[in-house]
Amino acid sequence: MSDPGGVSTIREATVADVDVILDQRRKMFAELGRPADETEREAMIGRARPFFEAGLGDGSYRGWFAEVDGRVVAGGGLVIARFPPGPFDPIPHRAWVFNIYTEPAFRRQGLARQIVETAIAWSQERGFGSLSLHASDYGRPLYELLGFKPTNEMRLMLADP
């Protein structure tokens, strides 16, 4: 791991951070090229705004940022949904890791790892039995390092991607 070159701190996101979260989400999907068309991508980001505004307010979205010298350079969060308890999940909620993004100049300094570890610790303290996510090719090595394993999830697409 290289030196971040400044003091890094992790802080929790508030409702005032919606634009920062959407900007990181925009950059994440731009890097992944999904969807390929920029106008469609921007429309997708716009459709997500009410979700994050409401979620940060009612706790169904939890976000964390890594700041270096007071500037946000990485972030990520958890989508939390009511879900029936099951074999792995003793409480009536499940959580999905979301929006993990580090600015290119700050990569391989352990910032995304700190954010995901913060989300894991937060979830463990509240009795969650598992965390799920969809991994990009960039993110997969980080998640494997932290112990995430592939599952038996399947998906039927109901609209053109």
CB of 141 to ligand COA, least distance (A): 3
For helices 18-32 and 38-58, the axis angle rounded to 10 degrees is 140
Residue type, 132: S
Site map (CB under 6 A) of ligand COA, residues 94-133, x = contact: ------xxx----xxxxxxx--------------------
CB of 25 to ligand COA, least distance (A): 10
Q: Return the number of the residue (51 or 127) whose C-beta is nearest ligand COA.
A: 51
CB of 77 to ligand COA, least distance (A): 12
Q: Return the number of the residue (18 or 97) whose C-beta is nearest ligand COA.
A: 97
CB of 99 to ligand COA, least distance (A): 8
Long-range own/partner contacts, residues 35-42 (CB < 8 A, 24 or more apart)? 35/161
Q: Return the number of the residue (26 or 113) whose C-beta is nearest ligand COA.
A: 113
Q: Return the number of the residue (84 or 104) whose C-beta is nearest ligand COA.
A: 104
Biggest CA pair distance of the chain? 46
Which region, left, alpha or beta, applies to residue 147 given φ > 0 means left and ψ of -120 to 50 means alpha? left
Taking alpha carbons only, the member of 146, 143, 148 closest to residue 130 is 148
> What string of H, E and C letters represents the secondary structure of 45-85?
HHHHHHHHHHHHHHCCEEEEEEEECCEEEEEEEEEEEECCC
CB of 145 to ligand COA, least distance (A): 5
Interacting residues with ligand COA (CB under 6 A)? 1, 28, 31-32, 74, 100-102, 107-113, 135-136, 138-139, 141-142, 145
